[in-house]
């Protein structure tokens, strides 16, 4: 399967890792859009949020525990934004479920542009 994030998980493509355990990996986005821009992914290939089901949703709960830990570790005590793009209309470019953790400066109140 030609999935760039699966290749990062396997170590075939380098990444700047922030956190890793048995089921979750987090790394700095290659094109950061904020002072802190971390991508958090399940190691299991789930294509998008629309594919989350009873049998694979536990890792999603764990991802949010990991995000809370990363937020603390990276000093984002003032808060941050978590974004998930799903599918074509959602603007998803990498078809492996991922959450953007964005912080380090105050974001506007608009959810979308």
Please indicate whether residue 100 is annotated as part of the active site.
no
Q: In angstroms, what is the minimal distance from the CB of 85 to ligand AMP?
A: 4
Q: Which long-range contacts (CB under 8 A, 24 or more apart) does 21-30 make?
A: 21/66, 23/59, 23/62, 24/59, 24/62, 24/63, 24/66, 26/66, 26/70, 26/101, 29/100
Q: In angstroms, what is the minimal distance from the CB of 55 to ligand AMP?
A: 24
Residue 91 touches which member of Zn ion, ligand AMP, none, C-beta under 5-8 Å by kind: ligand AMP
Binding-site ranges for ligand AMP (CB under 6 A): 4, 13, 15, 27, 29-31, 39, 85, 91-94
Residues annotated catalytic, as ranges: 98
């Amino acid at each position: 399967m030609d999935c760039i994030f699966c290749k990062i998980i396997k170590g075939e493509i380098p990444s700047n890792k922030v956190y890793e355990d048995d089921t979750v990996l987090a790394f700095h986005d290659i094109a950061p859009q904020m002072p802190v821009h971390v991508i958090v992914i399940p190691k299991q290939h789930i294509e998008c949020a629309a594919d989350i089901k009873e049998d694979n949703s536990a890792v999603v709960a764990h991802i949010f525990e990991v995000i809370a830990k990363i937020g603390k570790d990276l000093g984002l005590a003032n808060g941050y934004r978590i974004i998930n793009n799903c599918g074509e209309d959602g603007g998803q470019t990498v078809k492996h479920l991922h959450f953007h953790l964005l912080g380090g400066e105050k974001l506007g109140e608009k959810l979308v542009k």
